[in-house]
Chains A and B, each alone.
Chain A
């Protein structure tokens, strides 16, 4: 804590704003205090660990995106032009495995969560800083195993590893890939435990549970799922390896096993995992909507409870992935009704975000554009989820592009938009500098347009009957694939732009000052970039979160370009 910037005088409560001194860059901060590779690799600072994660998941995001790009190019024509069927199958497996386990699941919790969770609750760090660093090393080890299976020739089972194909018939590197996911799962568990304990034990004085920012609530709900569901994935992957390596009959009927058992185990984890991917995104959106409409959130307790309801109900709907698997008709009905019910808390959130805009003073800064884009795309993704919960319709659209479109609306339209929105929102805190605002807005809009062009045609394609994971397809579907590929090119530009201007702004951006958004969260009550231990004095909280006032007009500190 030596030698950091003097604390702003008014860092007493969440309700009092910092006296703003625009353009001040904190020279002594968590980045400048220790230099060199060694300092980074042995850091116990949650902020640096967040950045380590950011760099790591970006590498996986890039590899998985290249796989998607190759698929989209290949699908321009009904007949193969670019790759063989074997390679195509490996491409969608790489895309799925890396995106799900090495980008989406860790993205918001490990990058934004690690960076801001302790600051949001007024803590110096997470509860177990060494464990936090260990989780990154475990993640890197898992990622290395995944990359190693890729280099050796890849895997062609799809990210779902369905048996008995994965255990008996696939001739690819299933065990090492499964091992990679298995190991990465432990990093998720460790992060989850760390966040739960941090939220329970490290809150600043006065920060009661119902004064917590909603992002903290959503991370808490996510952490519960991480800790409870991930072990089931570990068991399932271990069983696959046991059957594949030693021929112990668990899933292959030729060995006396049951292939559908695998699906139950897999989705018992993987459906809650969908909520690991989306809940933190919802938390980010609550932060953005309030800040940029200068309003207290509408229905705080309902939005927070909805996160918990989703986390709990999410454990009881796995069978909706199995309506045509030969699961019992009656089981299908139970899973269907529960799946309809899990849509209700998601709806509550969307309604409350909309109501928050009422009587606000809305600033259309880049993070807000991402947040509004999120609401639009998540709403469409959520509503198309009802089609999949509806048994008779699901029979038709199951395993078609309709499902692909639906979950990309949630995962990319929802989660990635939220991640980008959150990254722009906290970037001034992370880097101490502003990204170029005009380029930011442009990228947000390009992403939104490109995304819809990519995935909306896939709803039509799916209802027409185009199955997923098809390398070769009937010629009458071509027009929709061409539209989709055109959209993906636009989407690619929308993702590349932030990469370029973030890197540029890291050194060249205008200094942001402690609180460019005039936001009320505790993380904005300290200098940017923050000092190593976040706060000069532990903040004391005296009121509820989001004490914004729309009646006072404020100037946000936006970069002019």
Chain B
């Protein structure tokens, strides 16, 4: 991690893709520098004041020359755009069947929790050659999760969930930086990713105190905080059932539709009046201030878990 180098380590699948684009851009830049700087140097020598060069019939413009250096770069930039956009699209599309990690950023530390329940601060242990997908939020200001060796970066925004994924290809330790200025100790909001052999990772997961998985923690919260009092088939209150809900379309009272994704579930817990499900009354209290960001994430993990089960018949 702490050795001098001119180029960052390539430790994930996307690092190769990004670097290929980077080298292509570097070559194109060198090409343009050559076709601009070499003529400047050549003209500066040949046409320096007092030289005997032929200066008769100077041209002050040609439509074809101008069109050439307008249209050529346009096509070149469209090609570069297409390449970079495809690579970006792959970076942004979260793959299925990934190892899930929940991340909460706060001034000035990273709090991470694995699906199995294991917690870490400013450190992230992951197995090599497996896809890791993280769901992130912030409990105060905007941060940004950045691992240079993986060529990935994503802002971590309070009030919403953002995602990032990577597939490490080399074991070792790599920097985690907060890339978005977040206050006094911004430069100390750093950590490391430890990429391990799969067996070592399994051992690491099992080490230490036994932990409650995120889904179990969510289930416990669902009962302890009273969610199950209303959102259950036996409830005397008229509240929507949450089984089978995740990622499904939800008809709203105002006639529009919403999709029951993480963001929607989060809003429904914290600002229930914002989107009322059609056919239900606006009676749910807000849980703002009663749940930490970690607890909301655990609840959503549980809702996601029951959301993939078939809805119970009423």
Q: A and B, one complex?
A: yes
B80 close to A165 (CB less than 8 A):
no
Rounded to whole angstroms, the CA-CA distance of A463 and B178 in the bound complex is 15
CB-based nearest B residue for A390: B84
Q: Report the minimal beta-carbon distance from B15 to chain A, rounded to whole angstroms.
A: 9
**Which of A61-69, A130-138, A356-364, A509-517 binds B?**
A356-364
B3 close to A476 (CB less than 8 A):
yes
B162 close to A162 (CB less than 8 A):
no
Residues of chain B contacted by A325 (CB below 8 angstroms): 155, 157
A376 close to B84 (CB less than 8 A):
no
**Which of A44-52, A105-113, A299-307 binds B?**
A299-307
B178 close to A467 (CB less than 8 A):
yes
Residues of chain A contacted by B291 (CB below 8 angstroms): none
Residues of chain B contacted by A358 (CB below 8 angstroms): 39, 43, 47, 58-59
Q: Report the minimal beta-carbon distance from B124 to chain A, rounded to whole angstroms.
A: 16
B49 close to A392 (CB less than 8 A):
no
The reply to whether the CB of B202 lies closer than 8 angstroms to some CB of chain A is no
Contact of A392 among B33, B58, B88, B142 (CB under 8 A): B88
Residues of chain A contacted by B146 (CB below 8 angstroms): 399, 465, 467
CB-based nearest A residue for B180: A399
Contact mask for chain B residues 60-85; partner A; CB cutoff 8 A; 1 contact, 0 none: 11100110011001100110110111
Residues of chain B contacted by A361 (CB below 8 angstroms): 47, 49-50, 55
Given contacts A164-B141, A340-B78, A550-B55, contact A333 B88 (CB under 8 A): yes
Q: Report the minimal beta-carbon distance from A165 to chain B, rounded to whole angstroms.
A: 4
CB-based nearest B residue for A338: B81
Given contacts A165-B142, A336-B84, contact A395 B61 (CB under 8 A): no
B155 close to A393 (CB less than 8 A):
no
Residues of chain B contacted by A395 (CB below 8 angstroms): 18, 88, 91, 151-153
Q: How many residues of B contact A (CB 8 A)?
A: 89
B47 close to A340 (CB less than 8 A):
no
Contact of A471 among B81, B84, B187 (CB under 8 A): B187
Rounded to whole angstroms, the CA-CA distance of A528 and B185 in the bound complex is 55
Contact of A398 among B81, B140, B179, B187 (CB under 8 A): B179
CB-based nearest A residue for B162: A326
A-B pairs with beta carbons under 8 A, tally: 277
Residues of chain B contacted by A246 (CB below 8 angstroms): none
Residues of chain B contacted by A471 (CB below 8 angstroms): 186-187
List CB contacts (< 8 Å) of B1-33 with chain A.
1-8, 14, 17-18, 21-22, 25, 28-29, 32-33
B183 close to A165 (CB less than 8 A):
yes
Residues of chain B contacted by A164 (CB below 8 angstroms): 140-142, 158
Rounded to whole angstroms, the CA-CA distance of A297 and B58 in the bound complex is 11
Rounded to whole angstroms, the CA-CA distance of A129 and B69 in the bound complex is 42
A89 close to B186 (CB less than 8 A):
yes
B144 close to A379 (CB less than 8 A):
no
B5 close to A156 (CB less than 8 A):
no
Residues of chain A contacted by B186 (CB below 8 angstroms): 85, 89, 469-471
Rounded to whole angstroms, the CA-CA distance of A243 and B6 in the bound complex is 44
Given contacts A393-B21, A400-B179, contact A464 B7 (CB under 8 A): yes
Given contacts A364-B48, A464-B5, contact A302 B66 (CB under 8 A): yes
List CB contacts (< 8 Å) of B79-127 with chain A.
80-81, 83-85, 87-89, 91-92, 107
Contact of A391 among B54, B84, B151, B187 (CB under 8 A): B84
Q: How many residues of A contact B (CB 8 A)?
A: 95
The reply to whether the CB of B188 lies closer than 8 angstroms to some CB of chain A is yes
The reply to whether the CB of B159 lies closer than 8 angstroms to some CB of chain A is yes
Q: Report the minimal beta-carbon distance from A407 to chain B, rounded to whole angstroms.
A: 16
Residues of chain B contacted by A479 (CB below 8 angstroms): 4
B184 close to A89 (CB less than 8 A):
yes
Given contacts A324-B153, A348-B69, contact A393 B84 (CB under 8 A): yes
Q: Report the minimal beta-carbon distance from B133 to chain A, rounded to whole angstroms.
A: 16
B78 close to A391 (CB less than 8 A):
no
Residues of chain A contacted by B178 (CB below 8 angstroms): 467
Residues of chain A contacted by B65 (CB below 8 angstroms): 299, 355
B6 close to A384 (CB less than 8 A):
no
B8 close to A156 (CB less than 8 A):
no
Given contacts A165-B182, A391-B84, A465-B177, contact A296 B47 (CB under 8 A): no
The reply to whether the CB of A501 lies closer than 8 angstroms to some CB of chain B is no
Contact mask for chain A residues 460-499; partner B; CB cutoff 8 A; 1 contact, 0 none: 1001110111111111100100000000000000000000
Rounded to whole angstroms, the CA-CA distance of A128 and B230 in the bound complex is 70
List CB contacts (< 8 Å) of A363-381 with chain B.
363-364, 372, 375-376, 379-380
**Which of A252-260, A420-428, A436-444 binds B?**
A252-260
Contact of A260 among B21, B89, B157 (CB under 8 A): B157
Q: Report the minimal beta-carbon distance from B168 to chain A, rounded to whole angstroms.
A: 16
CB-based nearest A residue for B40: A354
Rounded to whole angstroms, the CA-CA distance of A380 and B29 in the bound complex is 8
A341 close to B74 (CB less than 8 A):
yes
Rounded to whole angstroms, the CA-CA distance of A340 and B144 in the bound complex is 25
Rounded to whole angstroms, the CA-CA distance of A123 and B280 in the bound complex is 72
Residues of chain B contacted by A286 (CB below 8 angstroms): none
Rounded to whole angstroms, the CA-CA distance of A435 and B107 in the bound complex is 53
A473 close to B187 (CB less than 8 A):
yes
Q: Report the minimal beta-carbon distance from B170 to chain A, rounded to whole angstroms.
A: 16
B22 close to A463 (CB less than 8 A):
yes
B36 close to A357 (CB less than 8 A):
no
Contact mask for chain B residues 244-274; partner A; CB cutoff 8 A; 1 contact, 0 none: 0000000000000000000000000001000
Contact of B91 among A355, A392, A398 (CB under 8 A): A392
Q: Report the minimal beta-carbon distance from A452 to chain B, rounded to whole angstroms.
A: 13
The reply to whether the CB of B243 lies closer than 8 angstroms to some CB of chain A is no
A340 close to B61 (CB less than 8 A):
no
B36 close to A170 (CB less than 8 A):
no
Rounded to whole angstroms, the CA-CA distance of A364 and B54 in the bound complex is 19
Rounded to whole angstroms, the CA-CA distance of A376 and B38 in the bound complex is 11
Indicate the member of B14, B28, B107, B148 with the most A CB atoms within 10 Å.
B148
Given contacts A297-B60, A362-B43, contact A324 B48 (CB under 8 A): no
The reply to whether the CB of A337 lies closer than 8 angstroms to some CB of chain B is yes
The reply to whether the CB of B231 lies closer than 8 angstroms to some CB of chain A is no
Rounded to whole angstroms, the CA-CA distance of A550 and B57 in the bound complex is 10
Contact of A463 among B7, B61, B92, B180 (CB under 8 A): B7
Residues of chain B contacted by A347 (CB below 8 angstroms): 32, 69, 73
Q: Report the minimal beta-carbon distance from B200 to chain A, rounded to whole angstroms.
A: 25
Rounded to whole angstroms, the CA-CA distance of A49 and B184 in the bound complex is 40
B17 close to A392 (CB less than 8 A):
yes
Rounded to whole angstroms, the CA-CA distance of A463 and B44 in the bound complex is 34
Given contacts A360-B47, A399-B179, 6 further A-B contacts (CB under 8 A): A323-B88, A343-B73, A354-B40, A360-B58, A393-B22, A476-B5
Q: List 25 A-B contacts (CB under 8 A).
A: A156-B184, A160-B181, A259-B142, A297-B60, A299-B65, A326-B155, A333-B85, A336-B85, A351-B36, A352-B66, A358-B58, A360-B47, A361-B47, A362-B44, A376-B40, A379-B36, A386-B29, A393-B18, A393-B84, A396-B22, A464-B8, A465-B148, A471-B186, A475-B2, A550-B58
Residues of B within 8 A of A (CB): 1-8, 14, 17-18, 21-22, 25, 28-29, 32-33, 36-37, 39-40, 43-44, 47-50, 53-62, 65-66, 69-70, 73-74, 77-78, 80-81, 83-85, 87-89, 91-92, 107, 140-142, 144, 146, 148-149, 151-155, 157-160, 162, 175, 177-188, 190, 271
Closest 6 pairs (CB-CB, A-B): A465-B148, A253-B159, A391-B88, A392-B87, A340-B77, A390-B84
